[in-house]
Amino acid sequence: MAKTIKGKKDYVVEKYKNGEFSFGQAAKFAEVSLWDFPSLLKEKGVFLNMDLEELKSDLETIDGRT
């Protein structure tokens, strides 16, 4: 089971890296919080790929405004 979860996270990180998933989508599909997703990216050697509008949207979602 752990291998399946690791494989799923690797898949999601790759999709995020290639711009196919937004930050929020990737965190959701990886089944990690928006707060923990940057740590997963760091672990995989991937940098944040997020523009200001996406950041604002995700922060509003966290804050419960949307």
Q: What separation in angstroms does the CA of 2 have from each of 8, 19, 35, 58, 61?
A: 10, 26, 21, 28, 29
Rounded (5°) CA angle 40-35-59? 130
Q: What pLDDT digit, counting tens, does each position of 3-57 carry?
A: 577 899 999 999 999 999 988 899 999 999 988 999 999 999 999 877 788 778 7
Provide the greatest CA pair distance for the chain: 36
- For the chain, the structural domain boundaries read 2-63
Q: What pTM, to 2 d.p., does this model score?
A: 0.71
